[in-house]
Every structure is written in C-alpha cells, then in structure tokens.
Amino acid sequence: MGSLIMRRIVAIANQKGGVGKTTTSINLAAALAHIRQRVLLLDCDPQANASSGLGVRPPASAPSMYQVLLNGAEAPPIVQPFPQLPLHLLPANSQLAAAEWELPGRGNPEGLLAARLAALAAAYDYLIIDCPPSLGLLTVNALVAATEVVIPIQCEYFAMEGLSLLLETVRRIKLRWNPNLQIGGILLTMFDRRNNLAHQVANDIRRHFPGQVFHTLIPRNVRLGESPSHGLPIHLYDPGCPGAEAYLALAGEFHHREDSDG
C-alpha cells in the first residue's frame, strides 16, 4: 500500500435530536484516545452538551467555538480535560447559536469551519465534530469540513424518518463542496435487546443499507445517561459497563475501517 493514511475528520450528524450524537461524539472520541489516537473533539452545537459532558463550561464571554469559527481566533481555546488521555476539546457555549444567522453574511459561509480546521488538524489523528440537531449552517459547515459522516440512529419506530433528507444533503455537499465526503457508517444506538421492535428496526436498517451499518450496536445503558453529569466519558466513569464496552468496540471497528469504502 504505502499510501498516506488520510487524517479522518468525522461529523456525527443527524438532524433528529436525542438519537445519541453527543453521547457518540464524546465516547467515540474518548475511546479512540484510549487506544492512543490523538483526538480533537469539536463542539459545534450551541447546546454545548459535548463540552459540559466533559466537565468543560466556558462562560458566555469566553473564547470558544464561536470565535474560532467566526473570527478565526489566533490561539484556539483548546483544552485537554484528562491528563491521561490524548483527547483535546474545542468547547462551545450558547454564543454559537448566533453563528446560524451571522454566517450567511460572510463570504464562504459553508466552508468557514473547513478553512479553520486546515490549521488545527495537523496535530491529530482524528477530529470528531458533534453537530446540532438541524441541517442548518453549523451542520453544513461540519459536513463540508469532514472526510466522513457517522449517522447515529435510535432503534425505535420512525428511526429512518428524515434519513433520506440527511443522505440527500450529504450527496449535495459532496457534489458542490466536498468530493471527499464519505458515509463513514450508520450507528444503531440505544438498542434494547429485550424489545422486539428494536430488533425489527435494526434488521430493517441493515437491509436498507447493506454494508453501511456498524457491526457494533450501542445498547441502551443508564450509565451512558449518567456519565455526562459527572463530566466523564463512559470508560472513565464506569469502565466495565456495557456502554463502555460498546464504545470501545466501536472505536476498534471504526479505527480499522479506514480505506474500506474507498
């Protein structure tokens, strides 16, 4: 082979809220760092759950994703929440909400994040972008900057609703701005194996998208719901729990998937 392995910039996106985007962003990023990958997690959601879930809460006036995106802050306010993990975070706060209406007044409103990342990416193996629950300009910026998109889907009725619009958006962004953008995979989340419907939905999705769904299923696990309130990724909060094992398995599968869908 001998070819350069491309740095992977991963947008975790789905315009539906509550499907596990932030939980996946935090715990996939932390699990990749756990296997000694250098990871930068970028919080692109004004709700800033990826930041607070790692115990980082920049005050409204403090530099954050907003300044980096809109003003290209010279020293991006990147933090390393846990000294033992090569996981860095570019946090957000509610100021980022203003970006949705300020971006359209800028030149290249879809490509600003991609331009900012050019200077930041060199120090990392993975950049993971937590997207807001919409297909607005923040998500579009993430998809224009990304090399791949991971789509978390909750295993419940209506799971696939909205998926075709998301895939259409990805297709348009690929055509117009980012020919390198790939579907990194669909991730089934909050899977409850005692629930027949969950099995049915998981099977339906696998049938619809052969080869595009991660083997790793993320189970519904209360520990995953608790860990953000302690400011910890799951494998630091409760290393033995099913959620921690699932996200570690996902990181392994994800890390070895590079080059697979050329």
Ligand X SMILES: Nc1ncnc2c1ncn2[C@@H]1O[C@H](COP(=O)(O)OP(=O)(O)O)[C@@H](O)[C@H]1O
Q: Is 233 in the site for ligand X (CB under 6 A)?
A: no
Q: Which residue has the tokens 């990147």?
A: 78
Q: Is 27 in the site for Mg ion (CB under 5 A)?
A: no
Contact 96, 54 (CB under 8 A): no
Number of residues written out for the chain:
262
CA distance 247 to 6: 23
Q: Is 17 in the site for ligand X (CB under 6 A)?
A: yes
Q: Give the footprint of ligand X on residues 162-201 (CB under 6 A).
A: 189-190
Q: Is 133 in the site for ligand X (CB under 6 A)?
A: yes
| 154 three-class SS | strand
Sign of the alpha-carbon dihedral angle for 197, 13, 252, 247: negative
Q: Is 11 in the site for ligand X (CB under 6 A)?
A: no
Helix and strand numbers (H, E) in the chain are 11, 6
Q: Smallest distance from the beta carbon of 93 to ligand X, in angstroms?
A: 16
Q: Give the footprint of Mg ion on residues 126-145 (CB under 5 A).
A: none
Q: 13 or 40, CB closer to ligand X?
A: 13
Q: Pick one of ligand X, Mg ion, none as the site partner of residue 220 (Cβ within 5 to 8 A by kind).
A: ligand X
Q: What x-and-dash track marks residues 197-226 binding ligand X by CB under 6 A?
A: ---------------------x-xx--xx-
